[in-house]
Amino acid sequence: MQVNLIFWRKTLAKPRVFISSTFYDLRLARAELEHFIRDMGYEPVLNERGQIPYGKDMPLEEYCYKEISKVHILISIIGGRFGSQSRDSDKYSISNMEIKEALKQGKQVYIFIESGVLSEYSTYKNNKNIENIKYSHVDDVKVYKFIEELYALPNNNQISSFDNMHILTAYLREQWAGLFERYLDGDAQGILVDMMRKMEQVTSTLEGLTEVYRKSPPGNDSEEKEKIMDEIIIQNHPIFSAMRKMLRVRYRIFFTNQLEMEDWLKSARSGKSIDIEWDDLNDIGLRYKIMMGKDSEYTLDVSSDLFDSNKSLKPMLPSEWQESMLRLTLIPKSIDLDEEIPF
Among residues 261, 257, 259, 288, the alpha carbon closest in space to that of 275 is found at 288
In 238-265, which positions are buried (b, 16+ CB within 10 angstroms) versus exposed (e)?
A: bbbbbbeeebeeeeebebeebeebbeeb
Answer yes or no: is pLDDT of 139 > 80. yes
pLDDT score at 81: 93
Among residues 78, 87, 77, 82, the alpha carbon closest in space to that of 142 is found at 82
pLDDT digits (tens, 9 = 90+) for 49-105: 655 555 455 556 677 778 888 889 999 999 999 998 888 788 899 899 889 888 888
- What one-character DSSP code corresponds to residue 69? T
Answer yes or no: is pLDDT of 341 > 60. no
For residue 53, with 0-12 CB atoms within 10 Å meaning exposed, 13-18 middle and 19 or more buried, which class applies?
A: exposed
pLDDT score at 301: 87
H or E element at residue 319 = none
pLDDT score at 200: 56
Neighbour count for residue 49 (Cβ, 10 Å): 12
pLDDT score at 17: 93
pLDDT score at 342: 40
Among 53-62, 155-164, 171-180, 252-261, the range scoring the smallest mean pLDDT is 53-62
pLDDT score at 3: 46
What gap in Å lies between CA 124 and CA 128, rounded to an integer? 5
Instruction: Spell out the residues 6+ positions from residue 283 whose beta carbon is closer than 8 angstroms to its own.
Output: none
User: Whole-number mean pLDDT of the chain?
Assistant: 75
User: Which domains, and CATH codes, for the chain?
Assistant: 2-163 (3.40.50), 237-330 (no CATH)
What gap in Å lies between CA 108 and CA 72, rounded to an integer? 7
